[in-house]
Amino acid sequence: MAHPTVKLNRVINNTVEKLVINTVRCLGVDLTQEHTGGHPGTVMGAAAIGVALWRFAMRYNPKDPDWFNRDRFVLSAGHACLFQYIHLHLAGYDAWTADQLKTYHNPDFGMAAGHPEIEFPGIEVTTGPLGQGIANAVGLAIAAKNLAATYNKPGFNIVDHKIWCFTGDGCLQEGVGQEALSLAGHLRLDNFIVIYDDNQVTVDGSIANCFTDDSSAKIAANGFHVIEVQDGTNDLPAILEALDEAKTIEGKPIFVHIRTVIGYGSHRANSGAAHGQPLGVEEVEYVKGVFGFDPRVKCHIPDEVYEYFRPVVARGHEDEEQWKTLYMKYAEAYPAEYAEIQQRLTGTLPDGWRELLPTKSELPTVEQPTRKSSGIAVTTLVPKFKQFVAGSADLLESTFVSFPNQVEFQHPDTGLGDYSGRQIRYGIREFAMIGISNGMSAYQNGMFIPICSTFFQFWLYAAPAARMSALQGLRIIGIGTHDSIGIGEDGPTHQPIALASFYRSLPNYNFIRPADAEECMGAWEIALDSPHTPSLFALSRQPVPLHEHSDRSKIKLGAYPIFSTSSDDSCPQLIIISSGSEVTRSIEAAKRLGDELTLRVRVVSMPSQAHFDKQSYEYRDFVLGNGKALVVAIEAWSSYGWARYAHASLSMHTFGQSAPQATLYEIFGFGVDNIVAKVKAWVDSKTLDGEVVLPRLGQFEELLLDYVNPHKH
């Protein structure tokens, strides 16, 4: 049977409630003023909402912040983090001491970061860039629904918690927030409760200057059940009634629209000045006087306030103990499912997954796009392991993330699938797709491995969320297909030229461009061996051969010799570095250059610059010729970054064009004949009296500057 929730006394004592709420407000003004930084306004205006959430509405155990069946809270309006920190302290989280609260904007920084960070107890995801928290919360809700549909049994609702998301005016203006809310409404996620702190103010002042949407009507049109509270600043009973109702709604996500007064109690109330800066010493003293506090005493928390929150700890302990009892009975009744959950809680795949991937001898020998080769890993692994949730932004077939016997994640009543499904159609919502996947990945110790796919160029739409994946250390596996001018007739709007530069420079990110099917297997191994690092594979639309000397085990090295014109490859005179589909052209050119120049030519496949940079100096020096070889890079992207490894490059210097992919490679100078001619002329220019003279630092040359789009000015 499902476990009950311990009910706390809902009798409202106006005197005590006012003291608690006003204590939160005074802490907000004191802590922002202490080190002259931060956001006091929302703490002051939304204090009653915080009390309603942490004292009454949410089910959690402050003494065990990672309890599996806890409610999750996401502060999408991350600038209001002090609102969350104060309530974590009052609720009894051991880590959130009074001293930790005082590290807010403190030069001796601690846990109270300027925006919530995932590393600390009670913080589910890192928020800050507005709107992304909404997407994260949708991901958490999807994860919970999927687990419940997969593992709950009659009488054993071991997963039955809620996802709470606190948002403000800014989050609802951001496109990613609207993308995520739209999808949540379509999926009918009734475990997802959005609290809209509608204070009508942002940094620039009144939102009347830029935003006059009827948010309740708009969100209702998205499929949400809407509840409205007119005075969320002080009417705690009305807030509690709204949140109680929210928890009973079935078949729709819930939008609780609460109107508040930002900076309540100060002369700056209802203004932008209350949003993102301390109030000033005199105004702080004024506010504390208004609320009956001694202006001279800082950060005072009366004993009555601690006493008011004390029952939360007992409730949380009892809730968790009841759940543990249920879970142990579940283990006896359903040992296979219990073992599977426990294994997933480790955050790793079961032993033996690597051996499931086909060996090189088992891979197709016919030429095929690397997007299709990556699909081999998807169809091999995803059906076997429930950790994987694979999705696409309207490109399932193009990105090869479909898998046998897939079930779509959909509300069961639609007839399109059910909540146990692990194939997600994100629609044309690239940004939200990654933000939602971040929430899934963060749900509980890597229980989920989201796979997200779209054309590589549209990972530009997704880039802000991909950056947050890396910052938080969340394992997302990204598929970016149609990765170059080889996309062909779709034209320059779809042909990525400079995007790789961003992903290559992003810390804690596996950006990998494999050259063939074997390297694709190595890319998947890296992604699955990286529990705290997201990955993105740039994959070709055009077919490439399976190279004789490609080696999945060397992908983790970032770069390795893949071809040589000489049986003795220890002392190459010319090195060509490439990635992806250009490796094939480089090998073809190397064969001819070796004959025509009578030089020892080595081709290096460099699928990952970041992994190469982590290798020993000795290995990197060996790959790049020990400082005795001319090195040229060939890649149909921008040359940015190649000067670290090469003396020259054949790279793109304009946008692409709409034409067949084979034609485009010729037009922009990547035909094998032109590669040979350009490299040969460059080598000749570096030869003096029969000896090659290596260029000095700063003499990097672009060998295709004369190749411009013939149909563009």
List residues with catalytic annotation: 430
Beta bridge partner(s), residue 72: 163
Q: How many CB atoms lie within 10 A of CB 685?
A: 12
Reference 598, options 634, 562, 565, 632; nearest CA is 565
Q: What is the CA radius of gyration of the chain?
A: 29
What 394-398 contacts at long range (C-beta under 8 Å, 24+ apart), as own/partner pairs, is 394/425, 394/426, 394/427, 394/428, 394/454, 395/453, 395/454, 395/455, 395/481, 396/423, 396/425, 396/453, 398/371, 398/455, 398/481, 398/482
Nearest to 6 by CA among 330, 324, 312: 312
- Does the annotation flag 553 for ligand binding? no
Known binder of ligand: residue 543? no
Q: Is 448 annotated as a binding residue?
A: no
214 is in an annotated binding site: no
Q: Please give the distance of CA 630 from its chain centroid, rounded to a whole number.
A: 40
CA 420 to chain centre: 22
541 annotated among ligand-binding-site residues: yes
Fill in the amino acid letter for 661.
Q
128 is in an annotated binding site: yes
User: Is 267 assigned a ligand-binding role in the annotation?
Assistant: no
- The continuous run of DSSP H or E covering 220 comes out as helix 215-221
Flag whether 653 is marked binding: no
Tokens of 116: 């919530």
Q: Is 351 annotated as a binding residue?
A: no
Residue of 200, 314, 287, 216 whose CA lies nearest to 256: 216
Q: Which residues contact 276 (CB under 8 A, 6 or more apart)?
A: 38, 39, 41, 79, 203
Judge whether 129 is annotated as a binding position: yes
Is 594 annotated in some ligand binding site?
no
Q: For residue 225, say whether it is annotated as part of any ligand binding site.
A: no
130 marked among binding-site residues: yes
300 is in an annotated binding site: no
DSSP 466: H
On whether 494 is known to bind a ligand per the annotation, the reply is: yes
Q: Is position 79 annotated in a ligand binding site?
A: yes
CA distance 230 to 408: 39
Nearest CA to 219 among 250, 191, 195? 195
Residue 39 annotated as binding site? yes
Q: Which is nearest to 172 in space by CA: 163, 164, 182, 162? A: 182
Question: What kind and span of H or E run contains 101?
Answer: helix 98-101
Residue list, annotated binding site for substrate: 39, 275, 371, 398, 482, 490, 494, 541
- Binding-site residue numbers for thiamine diphosphate are 79, 128-130, 170, 199, 275, 458
Binding residues: 39, 79, 128-130, 169-170, 199, 201, 275, 371, 398, 458, 482, 490, 494, 541
- Known binding residues for Mg(2+) are 169, 199, 201
